[in-house]
Amino acid sequence: MAEDIRAMTAELAADPASLVFLELGETLRRRGQLQAAFKVARNGVARYPELAAAHDLAARILADRGELDRAFEAWVTALKHDPALLGAHKGLGFLYYRAGDLASAEKHLAYVVEADAGDAGTSAALAKVREEQSAGLPDGPTAGVLAPPGEPDRRSEPASFAPSGRPAVQDELPFSFEEPSAARLDDTVFAGLEGGSDSLLLVDANGLRLGGGLRSPAGHDVADAVAAQLSGVSKEAARAARLLALGEWRGLAVESPDGNLYLTAPTAGSLLLTARGPELPMGRVARLAERAAGAARRWLEGIR
Amino acid sequence: MTAPGALLERVCSVRGIRGAVLVSAADGLVVAESLMAGVDGRAVAALAASLVNRLGRAVEAAGRRAPLFVQLAAESGSVLAVVCGSELVLVAVTSPDANIGLARLELLEAAGRLA
């Protein structure tokens, strides 16, 4: 067993509520260990039935196993819990394309490209779909020339999946493609603060995103992946400060060559990540974090 | 490469630093230490390495390169950690009145010599 899988398995065994199952399942999937990956994902879905990322993971594994009908259901479920989840839109775009429903494929892929303009793969897929639409290709299963999200090209595989008889995607999914922001997470948490939607991220103790967002320096949406990784940080910081007789922890400053990050706990059950580029000194990032933590506290008190 | 002991002594000469530990990043074990009485080097090593590793995964997920410097700020002091290459972490424990900027510079310089 590879060392990283062993470590994540041990972490999950020690804390079955850990969100490390998302990373473990994805790592197993990428290495082709689909049975083990699906077991991890299934347990994760059972523990966190409202966690969109868990359904997304299960869907990717099912797609790899060729169970496209079940993958479709899992991605639809993921979008019911997080209508802005780009991975699920990519997956559904892929499945609709394979089924020959170019209009629905176009809507899902366009949503992804609108939210993440830096996603070159999806942009290319969208261009391909639009090209076929404008060429007036007949309906029906296609040759499956689009690769599923994060996967190599599968053009040699038969297009066996056809969600025939399903309602149009606009009727099935609880949001409008024309107004993608309407059903996103509450963006009012950091209203008025610079970077409130892409460099301030509020998560709960389980690593679930409460508000804000985060993009990588390359422009990719990394909010949910980072939120999952932050699930145990608050506890670990508190434990370290306590065991070293340093009292309550107040903040975690992290310097990377690509930027400065500051973590603080607005409340006992939440964690706030403030991210800025390397050009902004850490002292100023910490000041921004203080202000954002105040906004987060007020917002959390308001929804109680 | 300078001897770790001498570098740790130099780090500890900064006002407010109560001790410094060179830690194996993979397992959190002490490689070398220079500590004032009352500072548990093994606990510092284990906790700091674990925290740095966890933060490293989060930073990686955020699309950034691995952390170079980490500060855990608490009401009675701080834990500072500087990554030295891929195998070592240099950790210092400070009192609340320490000059964190100066301590950071000293740690980064020491880490550069250890790497």
Tell me which DSSP letter residue B111 carries: H
Distance, in Å, from the CA atom of A82 to the CA atom of A105, rounded to the nearest integer, reads: 19
Q: With H, G, I as helix, E, B as strand and everything else as coil, classify residue A295.
A: helix
Residues of chain A with a CB closer than 8 angstroms to some CB in chain B:
23, 214-218, 220, 222, 225-226, 228-230, 232-233, 236-237, 239-241, 243-259, 261, 275
Q: Which residues of chain B have pLDDT under 50?
A: none
Q: Which of A185, A189, A150, A205 is nearest to A274 (CA)?
A: A189
For residue B75, give the nearest of A225, A250, A275 by CB distance: A250
Q: Is A246 close to B77, i.e. CB distance below 8 A? A: yes
**Per-residue model confidence (pLDDT) at position A109:** 92
Cβ–Cβ < 8 Å for A296, A265: no
Q: Is A217 close to B63, i.e. CB distance below 8 A? A: yes
**Per-residue model confidence (pLDDT) at position B72:** 97
Distance, in Å, from the CA atom of A157 to the CA atom of A172, rounded to the nearest integer, reads: 27
**Per-residue model confidence (pLDDT) at position A168:** 37
**Per-residue model confidence (pLDDT) at position A152:** 41
**Per-residue model confidence (pLDDT) at position A56:** 94
**Per-residue model confidence (pLDDT) at position B114:** 84
**Per-residue model confidence (pLDDT) at position A50:** 85
Q: How far, in Å, are A21, A37, A51, A186, A233 from residue A177 at the CA level?
A: 31, 31, 22, 17, 35
Distance, in Å, from the CA atom of A56 to the CA atom of A76, rounded to the nearest integer, reads: 9
Distance, in Å, from the CA atom of A300 to the CA atom of A111, rounded to the nearest integer, reads: 29
State ipTM: 0.93
C-alpha of B42 from chain center? 13
Q: Which of B65, B59, B100 is nearest to B79 (CA)?
A: B100
Per-chain mean pLDDT for chain A: 80
Instruction: Compute the nearest-CA separation of B17 from chain A (Å).
Output: 13
Burial class (CB in 10 A: 0-12, 13-18, 19+), B85: exposed
pTM for this structure? 0.58
Helix (H) or strand (E) holding A37: helix A34-47
* Chains A–B, number of C-beta pairs less than 8 Å apart: 115
What backbone phi and psi angles, to 5 degrees, belong to A157?
-85, 150
- Amino acid at position A138, single letter: P
Task: Output the CA torsion B88→A216→A86→A78 (10° steps).
Answer: 40
C-alpha of A218 from chain center? 16
Which residues on B lie below 8 Å from A225 (Cβ)?
A: 61-62
Instruction: Compute the nearest-CA separation of A253 from chain B (Å).
Output: 5
**Per-residue model confidence (pLDDT) at position A163:** 43
Mutate which of B64, B69, B75, B107 to test chain A, going by most A C-beta atoms within 10 A? B64
**Per-residue model confidence (pLDDT) at position A262:** 97
Cβ of B43 under 8 Å from any chain A Cβ? Answer: yes
**Per-residue model confidence (pLDDT) at position A18:** 84
Which residues on A lie below 8 Å from B66 (Cβ)?
A: 256
Name the region of A138 (left: φ>0; alpha: ψ -120 to 50; beta: rest): beta
Helix (H) or strand (E) holding B80: strand B77-84
**CA R_g for chain A:** 21
Q: Which residues contact A127 (CB under 8 A, 6 or more apart)?
A: none
Q: Is A240 close to B51, i.e. CB distance below 8 A? A: yes
Cβ of B36 under 8 Å from any chain A Cβ? Answer: no
Cβ of B94 under 8 Å from any chain A Cβ? Answer: no
Q: Which residues of chain A have pLDDT under 50?
A: 140-145, 152-185
Q: Is A245 close to B76, i.e. CB distance below 8 A? A: yes
Instruction: Compute the nearest-CA separation of A263 from chain B (Å).
Output: 9
Which residues on A lie below 8 Å from B72 (Cβ)?
A: 237, 240-241, 246, 249, 251-252
**Per-residue model confidence (pLDDT) at position B2:** 66
Q: Is B54 close to A229, i.e. CB distance below 8 A? A: yes
- Chain B, residues 44-73, CB within 8 A of chain A, namely 44, 47-48, 50-51, 54-55, 57-59, 61-73
Which residues on B lie below 8 Å from A233 (Cβ)?
A: 51, 54-55, 58
Cβ–Cβ < 8 Å for B93, B12: no
Distance, in Å, from the CA atom of A166 to the CA atom of A179, rounded to the nearest integer, reads: 23
**Per-residue model confidence (pLDDT) at position A138:** 53
